[in-house]
Each structure stands twice: as structure tokens, then as C-alpha cells.
Amino acid sequence: MNGSDIRLFARHNAIPLLAGAVFAAMFVLYLALQPRGVTVGTLVTASNKGVLLALIACAQTLPVLTGGIDLSVGAIAVLANCLASTLLGGSGLSLVGGVAATLAAGALAGGFNAVAVVWGRLQPIIATLATSSIFYGISLLLRPDPGGDINDDFASALTGDIHGIPTTLIILLAVLLLFWLPFRRTLIGRGVYAVGSAEAAAYMSGVRIARSKACAYVLSGVLASLAGLLLTLIAESAQASAIQAGDLTLNAIAAVVIGGTSLFGGIGGLVGSVIGAFILRTIGDLLFVLAASPLWQPLFQGLILLAAVSLGAIPLLRNRNRLESFR
């Protein structure tokens, strides 16, 4: 990579890079203020809750890239949580089967969204609002009372660390390196971006629009169910909670925006959303180390969030075309 390549890369990824710098600054501050110094436990705690939101944010990013939105990602995660809590009590092969079944359920839920949005031609925001209610209803049937019996060793291993590196962080990196980077270069992956930036032009150029859009929703379901699986392992139980589903969905949208993905579609990616998710979570951690007074915490949280979003938006100030300001 020579100098001009680096400059081009920096220009194309200005918002994720800035967000990354913001996150690094916040996290270093958090670690520096740790009352008992940094331990593996500190990193594992930060990673577990960060990766959970990061996976939901990734799930949200794919539909957003196509110019849509998926309000059901939180509900799919809760559905996966409730399903997994009935499947992960055993050991050995049954665990593998349980994980596979949970991810398959996520794909099925995503497929349901795809049918409603792509072939049913419903507005994504309404269609997924309706399906989120359906998924929540199924969760409630699967688990009317909170509970569940999870294999302790399995849960502890996947929410612990490997040689000092949080296991959940390794899982997240695997998703980015083994799924996202190759996927982005495939025909379907490029189609996702094309549909989001100019659907008509993509259609005229022969991009198979329906296939790319449907894929985005199905993969979104799989990623959301992976997050639900992680929630099951962190909590070793499940609860059909509409509040939890809504909380995850909203925070995921916030993470997507902080990470530089445009809600109009076509611009952004999973890496930015992951950084956005970690920024959101670190704001909560800063409240902990800074000992902010309890009734000021929501205000404080909002101000940091606004600052983070504003910093990320600085590159947008440099318009290539003045007409874009009036879009």
C-alpha cells in the first residue's frame, strides 16, 4: 500500500476511523481510572457486553445498507435467547445441535422478514415492527416464565478468556474476518451496497436486487440470533422481555449511526457499527469510573453520545456536491 492508497483508504473510511479514535480515547480513560488496575476480568466484562451489542448492531447494519431498517433485530435476539435456553442444557453434540438450531431459527426469522419486505413489498419499518411482535409472541410461548438451564462449563468457557483474551472478542473478530470481509466482495455483498445507493441504477445495471435484499435480512437474522445465543451464555437463562428487545434494537440503531453507516443506505459497514457499539457501552463504563452523581447520569450519558455522534459527522461537513445539503 503506497501513500495515495492510504490516503484513499482514510478518505473512504473517515467516520469509522474517527469513531475508532474516539473509542480508543474513551477506553484508555476507562482503563486508566480503574480503581484496582486492569485485570483480565475487567476486559472480559467490557468485551461480553460490548460484543453482545456489537453483534446486534452488525445485524442492523445489513438491512440499513440496503436502504431499509430492521426493527425486529432485538426481538430475534430475545427469541434466540428463549429458544437456546431450552436447548443448551446438555453436553457434547447436543450443545452443537442447540447452537445450530438457534442460528437456523435466526435465519428463518430473517427469511420471514425478507419475504415481507422483498416480495411482500411492505415498508421495512412497518413490516419489521409487525414481525418483531410476532417473534416476541413466539418467545413468550417458548418461555412464559423467566428461567432456563444452561450447561455451566460451556457458558463459562465462551464468556471467559483464552490466554487473557476475552473469548467473545475472538468470536466477534471471527465474524468480521471470516464472514464480513469475504462477503463484502461477493456479488451479493456488492449488490447490497448498490441497492442502497441507487436502487433503480442497480436494477438497470443487472444487479439481482431481490436476492441481495433478501440475503441482507436473512443474514441479519443469523447475526441477531448469534447475539441472542451470547445473551443466553452471559445470563445462563432467558426471559421473554419486550423491554430487553426494544432496548437492544434502539441501541443497535444508535451504534450503526455512530459507526458511520448512513440510514439512507449504501454507505458504511459492519466494522464501524462494531466500534459504535463499543463506544455506547464505554459511555456506561465511564459513568462507573467517574462516579457521576446518579440523577445526572442520563444527562451525562446523552451529552457524551451527542459529542460522539457529532465528531463522527465532521467528515460529512465536507460536501462534494452542494446539492447534497438539501437532500
Partner 1 sequence: MKISNLAACLLAGAMLASGAMPANAATYDPQCFRAAAAAGATVQLPAKHGPYRIAFANGFIGNGWRVQMIQTLRAYAAQPDVAKQIKELRIVSVGTDVSAQIAAMDNFINAGFDAILIDANSPTAFKPVLRRAQKAGVLIVSFDNTFDRTGKETNLIQVNQDQRAMGQMMGDWLNSTMKEKKSVLEVRGVPGNSVDRDRHEGFRAAMAKDPGVQITEVVGNWDDGTGQKAVADALAVHGNFDGIYTQGGSIGVTHAVMDAGKGFIPIAGEGENGFRKLIVAHANDGLLGDSAGQSPALVAVALKAALAALDGRALPQEIAVPIPEANYKTLVAGKTYFPDVSDTFFAASDFPVCSINLGAKDILGASGK
Q: Would you tell me which residues interact with partner 1 (CB under 8 A)?
A: 34-36, 39, 41-42, 44-46, 48-49, 52-53, 146-148, 155-156, 159, 231, 234-239, 241, 243-244, 247-248, 251, 281, 284-285, 287-288, 291, 293-298
Choice between 262 and 301, CB closer to partner 1: 301
In this structure, the dihedral spanned by the alpha carbons of residues 82, 86, 88 and 92, taken in order and rounded to 10 degrees, is -150
Choice between 123 and 156, CB closer to partner 1: 156
Q: Nearest distance from residue 194's CB to partner 1, in Å?
A: 35
Choice between 13 and 225, CB closer to partner 1: 225
Q: Nearest distance from residue 211's CB to partner 1, in Å?
A: 34
Choice between 207 and 287, CB closer to partner 1: 287
Element (H, E) at 162: strand 161-162
Q: Nearest distance from residue 301's CB to partner 1, in Å?
A: 9
d(CA 76, CA 138): 10
- 3-state SS string for 165-219: EEHHHHHHHHHHHHHHHHHHHCHHHHHHHHHHHCHHHHHHCCCCHHHHHHHHHHH
Helices (H), the chain: 3-12, 14-32, 40-65, 73-87, 93-114, 124-142, 152-158, 167-174, 181-185, 187-197, 199-204, 209-235, 242-258, 270-290, 297-313
Q: Nearest distance from residue 296's CB to partner 1, in Å?
A: 7
Choice between 83 and 107, CB closer to partner 1: 83
Q: Nearest distance from residue 48's CB to partner 1, in Å?
A: 7
